[in-house]
Amino acid sequence: GDSVTQMEGPVTLSEEAFLTINCTYTATGYPSLFWYVQYPGEGLQLLLKATKADDKGSNKGFEATYRKETTSFHLEKGSVQVSDSAVYFCALGVIGNTGKLIFGQGTTLQVKP
């Protein structure tokens, strides 16, 4: 069945460092891919998405490219800030008109000043 695998965390970086969080997926067909972010004590919110191969999603300095050949959707940011400290979830949209999402296990990012 469909699944999403994220790199294990936590990830600890210094401010202004480069961030990569790896995400790979297994799916039949061509799902949409998402990154959601969860700040402490809050629900998830959409960070970015890509709906077809080679699409690049971007928002708030974060980027991810839908790579069909490597079944990956890695999240990157060139210079992280303390305010980026959160849990990041990679997710895929299951094909079929249900809107169901399958989430990875989440990666905790801590950015130190």
Partner 1 sequence: DAGITQSPRHKVTETGTPVTLRCHQTENHRYMYWYRQDPGHGLRLIHYSYGVKDTDKGEVSDGYSVSRSKTEDFLLTLESATSSQTSVYFCAISESGGLSYEQYFGPGTRLTVT
Task: Using CB under 8 A, list all residues that contact partner 1.
Answer: 4, 6, 31-32, 34, 36, 42-46, 49, 51, 89, 93, 95-106
How many angstroms separate the Cα of 3 from the Cα of each of 21, 41, 83? 17, 26, 29
Instruction: Kindly tell me which of 57 and 113 has the beta carbon lying closer to partner 1.
Output: 57
The nearest distance, CB 16 to partner 1, in angstroms, is: 28
Instruction: Kindly tell me which of 38 and 72 has the beta carbon lying closer to partner 1.
Output: 38
The nearest distance, CB 72 to partner 1, in angstroms, is: 17
CA neighbor of 25 nearest in space, from 5, 9, 45: 5
- CB contact set of 65 (below 8 Å; sequence gap of 6+): 50, 54, 55, 56, 57, 73, 74
Half-sphere exposure of residue 71: CA atoms within 13 angstroms, side-chain side: 14
Instruction: Kindly tell me which of 14 and 56 has the beta carbon lying closer to partner 1.
Output: 56
Instruction: Kindly tell me which of 2 and 17 has the beta carbon lying closer to partner 1.
Output: 2
The nearest distance, CB 106 to partner 1, in angstroms, is: 5
The nearest distance, CB 112 to partner 1, in angstroms, is: 22
